[in-house]
Structure 1
Amino acid sequence: MSALTETDPTGAGFSPEGLARIAPWMDRLVDEGRLAGLSVTVARRGRVAFARACGQADLARATPFTLDTVTRIYSMTKPLTSVAVMQLYEQGLFQLDDPVSRVLPEFAEMRVAVGGNRAKLETEPARRAITVRDLLTHTAGLTYGFMEATLVDAQYREHGVDYLAREGTLAEMTARVAKLPLLAQPGSAWNYSVATDVLGQFVAALSGRPFADYLREAVIGPLGMIDTDFFVRPELMPRFCATYAYDRARQLRLFDDSVETAFAKPPAIASGGGGLVSTAADYQRFCRMILNRGTLDGTRLLGRKTVELMLSNHLPGDLAAMGTPRFAETSYTGIGFGLGFSVMLDPARAQILGTPGEVAWGGLASTAFWIDPAEDLSVVLMTQLVPSSALPIRRELRVLTYAALAD
């Protein structure tokens, strides 16, 4: 899907009248000033059933948001990093239940926070080692400093744990994480975290190549994701969007400019958890590879059984049974987690239209995707509003899309 050209939606099993509801929904979001711009692409059975963009990529410069606008995808980077990890798994370089310390020895003697205060945090030894599976499923006990909910989150901020920082190295940042206490015992709770960034260093150490080089050469390049990278190449800068946030009056204000931006040059640290920029067409190519069980246009990136393992729920139940909701990338009830994606377990419990086995994730700037193997369906939403909890647009788009299925 190198180009996003609509075909007859009836051939993809959609009601044209149903899909037509998406366009006015998009227009309302822009007209009411809730978003500056956005694009939606819906693909099924290898066909693009819907592809549309509207609004502005840059309000100050009056740059239109188009289907090839380059956006910051933030945490939608995580599934690509997880694919890189599983490629090395297929080479027999590790097992999922291996301690990550076999490759990253700085994680050998971890401690877990159990109480105290900011002046003195009380800890106990980890009862078992962090495994590769723990990192892939966010059950390692790591966290994010921006959560601002626990004493461990505060320690991440105090010690400068920021994988989007423009100085230092990936190895240094990972070593900094390993020196801090865990939020929970490994395997005992689900906490969204820097785990996928740590996996970037794991890939670098196992492959003997810088993580950014490995991802470009083994995942991004073979997929033909020509506009996806850890920075915006000079020739792509005219297509790069600005990012916005709401002020107190719920008006859009500039969060990051489309020209004066750190994304205009290669970062010091390639964040496997949130560093990529991409386009709708590029990310649909990634989705197609997953739907095709590891292959795209004759190029195989992963084996069929490996992809099936990634799409399986690896938690003992849903997220609600293993954590406390603290962010907006997914609801917790009825949703599990695989190796790099959330996994729909029960649409009724999740209280949203969907299919068991469907995988999904989103990014900080309200981008989102989901892949439904049972329906041979993939949807990519690109936009530019921080944070992703500001609007319920992901859930609204899911309803509009699934309601349009006609077969």
Structure 2
Amino acid sequence: MADATETDARAVGFCPERLERIDGWMRRLVDDGKLAGLSVTVARRGRTVFGRAHGLSDIARRTPFTRDTVTRIYSMTKPLTSVAVMQLYEAGRFQLDDPVSRFLPEFSAMRVATGGNRARIETEPARRPITIRDLLTHTAGLTYGFMEATLVDAAYRAQGIDFLSTEGTLAGMVAKAAQAPLLAQPGAAWNYSIATDVLGHLVAVVSGQEFADYLREKVIGPLGMVDTDFFVRPENMPRFAANYVYDRERRLTRFDDAVDTVFARPPAIASGGGGLVSTAADYMRFCRFILGRGELDGVRLLGRKTVALMLMNHLDGDLAAMGTPRFAETSYTGIGFGLGFSVTLDPARAQILGSPGEVAWGGLASTAFWIDPSEDLAVVLLTQLVPSSALPIRRELRVMTYAALVD
């Protein structure tokens, strides 16, 4: 998928005038003070048909937001970690239905919360082991402490279970997580969670390499994602964006600085669930790899059947059918989940333009991507605003992009 100019839009089935609506939308978001800056990249049939950036990556320093601005992608790290897991699966190191306790014995005797209070959570034994597939699909019964909705969430906070922590080790944090009760029985419900961070540790144990080293050597490096890492290298710091949040008056205020930031140095814990920084060009390379069914620029990292399996829905129905999700980087109805991505099952039920089989995910700072194999289409949206629920920009961009398709 070689880059091309935007004048090629018509040649690959886009109406240039309709695509141009995206530019006006981007400008309004910046002019209205809703975002400091953002970039959008759209590619189809091997050509980049739209690539723009507007606004500032750092309001205080007046740094422009450009297409090579480095951003925190948070949970858009998860699909890369899932690729690492599937590489080891292809190598015969485990089966997807293997108990994770085969490799991480700390998960051997899990218990599931049934009630109680913060002083004492009542539990029962897990009815079956957590499998590797459960971790890939967020059906393991794990959670996130930031949810602040259940006793188990509170237990995570009390025990300091946080894979973006500046202290500790990956192995130590996973051990803490295994000591907490599960939110639900393994396989019974879909709950967004630290599961992909646990998978990062699984990669380390199975491969015999530090997780960050494995991901760099086996995924990030071969894909040519030159600006993607668990921290911002010194030479890239001038391109790093600040991160923003709204104050009570809905004005942008700094959440994390572009210079005085933990991302300026290697982290204590390489978070497979949310630790990477990246650029629009780098993440589009990852999307191209998925569209290439495991191959990019002659380099194959996964077999085509493995990628096809990752892009299938592995749930019994959509997210809404798997209990009542408390948070996701997607809507619930009409959306399933594969091995590392959400999967569109029914655009009509999801009430959004799209295609069955489209995969996607987003990050805490309102970043997002989606890949539509049936349309040979990929889109990457980068900005820096937390939380990702602050604005409906992902849905708006999706509508404008699909509305510009004319063949």
For the aligned pair, the TM-score class normalised by the smaller chain equals: over 0.9
Unaligned ranges ≥5, structure 1: none
Contact between 1:99 and 1:132, CA under 8 Å: does it hold in 2? yes
Q: Which residue number in structure 1 is paired with residue 180 of structure 2?
A: 180
Structural mapping, 1:52-67, within 5 Å? 52-67=52-67
Counterpart position of 1:71 = 71
- Provide the residue aligned with 2:214 in structure 1: 214
Structure 1 SS opposite 2:244: strand
Deviations 1:268-309 (A, max 9, x none): 100000000000000000000000100000000000000000
Q: For residue 374 of structure 1, what is the aligned residue in structure 2?
A: 374
Alignment of 1:112-123 (within 5 A): 112-123=112-123
Q: Which runs of 4+ in 1 moved over 4 A?
A: 1-5
Rounded Cα–Cα distance in structure 2 between residues aligned with 1:11 and 1:165: 48
Contact in 2 for aligned 1:2/1:281 (Cα 8 Å): no
Quote how far apart the aligned CAs of 1:7 are.
Answer: 4.5
In structure 1, the residue matched to 2:110 is 110
- Equivalents in 1 of 2:256, 2:5: separation in Å? 30
In the alignment, what sits opposite 1:27?
27
How far apart, CA to CA, are the structure 1 residues paired with 2:147 and 2:4? 36
**Match of residue 236 from structure 1:** 236
3-state SS of 2:380 partner: strand
Maintained 8 Å contact 2:2/2:47: no
Distance across 2 between alignment mates of 1:140 and 1:7: 47
Three-state SS of the structure 2 residue aligned to 1:123 is strand
- The equivalent residue for 2:225 is 225
The amino acid of 1:338's aligned partner reads G
Kindly indicate whether residue 126 of structure 2 is the aligned counterpart of residue 126 of structure 1.
Answer: yes
Match of 2:360 in 1: 360
Query: How many percent identity over aligned positions?
Result: 79
Q: Quick one: which amino acid aligns to residue 322 of structure 1?
A: M
- Superposed, 1:143-292 pairs within 5 Å as 143-292=143-292
Instruction: Letter of the 2:235 partner, please give it.
Output: E
Residues 163-197 of structure 1 show CA distances to partners (whole Å, capped at 9, x for unaligned) of 00111100000000000100000000000000000
3-state SS of the aligned residue for 2:197? helix
CA contact (8 A) 1:327 1:389 kept: no
**TM-score with structure 2 setting the length:** 0.99
Instruction: Give 3-state SS (helix, strand or coil) of 2:49's partner.
Output: strand
Corresponding position: 1:85 with 2:68: no
Paired AA for residue 402 in structure 1 = Y
Find the residue that maps to 2:57 and give its secondary structure.
Answer: strand
RMSD: 0.9
User: Does the C-alpha gap of structure 1 residues 227 and 7 become closer, same or farther in structure 2, counting only changes over 3 Å?
Assistant: farther
The answer to whether the 8 Å contact 2:4/2:49 transfers is no
Q: Deviations over 1:316-340 (max 9, x none)?
A: 1000011324225100000000000
Following superposition, the deviation at residue 4 of structure 1 comes to: 7.6
Please give the alpha-carbon distance, in whole angstroms, between the structure 2 residues aligned to 1:213 and 1:323: 37
Question: Structure 1 pair 393/328, CA: closer, same or farther in 2 (3 Å)?
Answer: farther
Aligned equivalents of 1:3 and 1:374: distance in 2?
20
Q: Distance in 1 between the 2:58 and 2:197 partners?
A: 29
CA 62–5 in structure 1, closer or farther in 2 if over 3 Å, else same = farther
Instruction: Report the equivalent of 1:293.
Output: 293
In structure 2, distance between residues paired with 1:52 and 1:323: 39
SS in 2 for 1:323: coil
User: How many pairs align?
Assistant: 407
Contact 2:204 2:210 in 1 (8 A): yes
CA–CA distance in 2 between the matches of 1:312 and 1:255? 36
Relative to structure 1, is the Cα distance of residues 318 and 138 closer, same or farther in structure 2, using a 3 angstrom cutoff?
Answer: same
1:98 aligns with 2:98: yes
Note the C-alpha offset of 1:2: 8.2
Q: CA deviation at 1:6?
A: 3.5
Measured after TM superposition, the shift of residue 12 of structure 1 is: 1.6
Q: 1:47-84: per-residue Cα shift (whole Å, max 9, x none)?
A: 00100000000000000000000000000000000000
Q: CA shift at 1:235, angstroms?
A: 0.2
Structure 2: which 5+ runs fail to align?
A: none
TM-score by length of 1: 0.99
Secondary structure in 1 matching 2:162: coil
Is the CA contact (8 Å cut-off) linking 1:7 and 1:47 kept in structure 2? no
Distance 1:373 1:403 in 2: 17
**Rounded Cα–Cα distance in structure 2 between residues aligned with 1:120 and 1:82:** 35
- Secondary structure at the aligned position of 2:340 is classed as coil
**Alpha carbons of structure 1 residues 200 and 337: separation in structure 2 relative to 1, 3 Å:** same
- Give me the whole-angstrom Cα distance separating, in 1, the residues matched to 2:372 and 2:92: 29
Question: Alpha-carbon deviation of 1:5?
Answer: 5.0
1:157 partner letter: R
